[in-house]
Structure 1
Amino acid sequence: MGKKLRLDKILAHMGYGSRSEIRRLVKQGNVEVGGKVVKDFGLQVDPEQETVTIGGERVEFREFIYLMLNKPQGVVSATEDTRDRTVLDVLEGEYVHFEPFPVGRLDKDTEGLLLLTNDGKLAHNLLSPRKHVPKTYFAEVEGAVGASDAAAFEKGVALDDGYVTMPAKLVVLAEGDPAAGRVSKIELTITEGKFHQVKRMFQAVGKKVVFLKRISMGPLLLDEHLAPGQFRELTEEELAQLKGDAGH
């Protein structure tokens, strides 16, 4: 048995209109539960056990959604903002009524993997500082990043406010050459999420991040087929891995 929910809430959650529009539809006899017309919009219904139809169309109820977004630059990790486009503005209308929110945040000028969901328990577990969920970033950095930086990050570096980071793993993919104007290309895995952390870690070793993209969060890898601004639902396998990792 699933849990019982008000009929108008179920239909609003699935995007069939505003609460007042749905109440009007129910009163007009357009909604059936278990094959019978119902006119009580406050009726308690178990959507997993009882068939709900509206205008003859079966309502496929889902409580939670899980979306992987490749966040583009210039978009903020918020559900509303008066000045900037938000990650919800990127989503198409079919998902907005679920009221998803970003799990964690990426800076406005950072792109890459962002999970959007309305599953508060999963989000809480993934963001819990006790869980130390690893997050990996690809970055382009001005200056020659090398073994000494990797050693410093492995120990933990002091940020501008004196906070010493937890050990982080730095992999140099291509060493830069400042004289030739060539940036270093790196991957950095951190297990915490301080404000602007990756940028500030490189500042601590005298270098500057010029491009930043998150490529993984726990077991979830950014789908390389998603261009910036594109998104898709998580696969069942990805969701199972994520829930396993988050101790769901």
Structure 2
Amino acid sequence: MNDPEASPTAVCQVLVENAPQTGTWNMALDEALLESGANAGQCWLRWYRWSEPTVSLGYFQDREIPDELRSLPVVKRLSGGGAILHHHEWTYSVVVPSRHPRARNPPELYAAVHDRIIGVLAELGVMSQMRGSTAAFRDDSFLCFQRGDANDVLIGAHKVLGSAQRRRRGAVLQHGSLLMASSPHAGELPGLHDLGLQQSLGEGLVQKLAISVAELFGEARYLDSAPKNTLEMAAELQQNRYKTDGSFAQ
């Protein structure tokens, strides 16, 4: 059932990409989709993975990389927050155009998307909840998953999902990272498979998430690929912005 707050005429274009891509391409395509949302009023939901362990820095974060992560590729995100180690995880990006009701209150978008993800996990027998309070947390840790936000999704005491946003000409880009398993580069951060989700259940998880989250924005329209003009814009951004200075976006 579609969400009652979504526009009855709205269409959300959905990409679920099983083939992992480089960090520079992932960030370039997300920026191209944000431009599509800002210029053409298109709504997008994208779920994707990374072809190698990669650190993405929040837009306002400097490049002081900890020693244990310096060997990894680094790319800058448009969205804010702390750094993400993209390894055994899925990333989502959602672009909401300015005219869509969901763009009116960007902070509420965090809770709306996270509630849907919590619901899908519960269907699979994994109980999670939003943090709600950040009184015991500082926000100066390098990695996002070592920080605390009220909208973080937790399993027990462990953060498994965090999100951040960027706004451009009224359109909203929201990024989120869903940890599936711990990485050798950050073994202290467990993922869903470490915390109770069976590997076999994980195979269909992202499809379920795509269906549930897309319903927030209207009628889901599943695509095999972004349109040609969007891909061309992404390729230009990748070359001229995100590959600058050793895979670091300026």
**Max Rg structure:** 1
Which structure ranks higher in relative contact order (CA pairs < 8 Å, sequence separation ≥ 6)?
2
Task: State TM-score, norm by structure 2.
Answer: 0.28
More helix by share: 2
TM-score (structure 1 length as normaliser)? 0.28
